[in-house]
Amino acid sequence: MDLKCRFTTNPPRGRKPVTWIFYYGEKQALSNINMPIYDKKVTALIGPSGCGKSTYLRSFNRMHDLYPGNRYEGEIRFFPDNTNLLAPEVDPIEVRMRIGMVFQKPNPFPKTIFENVAYGLRVRGENNKRALDDKVEQALRGAAISGTK
């Protein structure tokens, strides 16, 4: 079975094409990926089951790092600061704070809804109760959920 999948398109105007490759252990799952994702545009990723869509998406916030044996080659450039997300000096936790993923199945922490929403702020060092209350309330109202504290 050929596990390789190729997504190729033109790089953004004025930007160098970048490629990366990904291996689950010995198994190469992505081959020479070169696909720009544009700011403020919706990009759809379509392909048959097993072609590598999830593997591709998980690369962006370094989710594969959580499992031993997984390996990337090449670079993933993140603009506007032109960071190579795969560079060894880049902290994957920092990357995950900048690039979020919304999963098919929600997986909240076993805490209250308030604490789940406040979690990101707390990780960022916000402990002021008033500020947390305001921001959580704003987020819940924005998502049309409230009164859940």
- Site residues for ligand ADP per CB under 6 A: 3, 24, 27, 29, 47, 49-55
> Residue 29 binds which entry of ligand ADP, Mg ion, none, with Cβ cut-offs from 5 to 8 Å by kind?
ligand ADP
Cα torsion through 26, 71, 61, 116, rounded to 10: 70
Q: Are 6 and 51 in contact (CB under 8 A)?
A: no
Task: Tell me how far, at minimum, the Cβ of 57 lies from Mg ion, in Å.
Answer: 8
> Residue 15 binds which entry of Mg ion, ligand ADP, none, with Cβ cut-offs from 5 to 8 Å by kind?
none
Task: Tell me how far, at minimum, the Cβ of 148 lies from ligand ADP, in Å.
Answer: 33
Q: Does 84 bind Mg ion (CB under 5 A)?
A: no
Q: Are 34 and 7 in contact (CB under 8 A)?
A: yes
Q: Does 54 bind Mg ion (CB under 5 A)?
A: yes
**Residue 127: count of CB within 10 angstroms of its CB:** 10
When the beta carbons of 6 and 122 are compared against Mg ion, the nearer one is 6
Structure tokens at 23: 């291996």
Q: Are 94 and 65 in contact (CB under 8 A)?
A: no
DSSP state of 34: B
Task: Tell me how far, at minimum, the Cβ of 71 lies from Mg ion, in Å.
Answer: 20
**Contacts (CB under 5 A) with Mg ion, residues 34-53:** 53
List, in sequence order, every residue forming a beta bridge with 78; answer none if it has no partner.
Answer: 83
When the beta carbons of 24 and 60 are compared against ligand ADP, the nearer one is 24
Which residues make up the interface to Mg ion (CB under 5 A)? 53-54
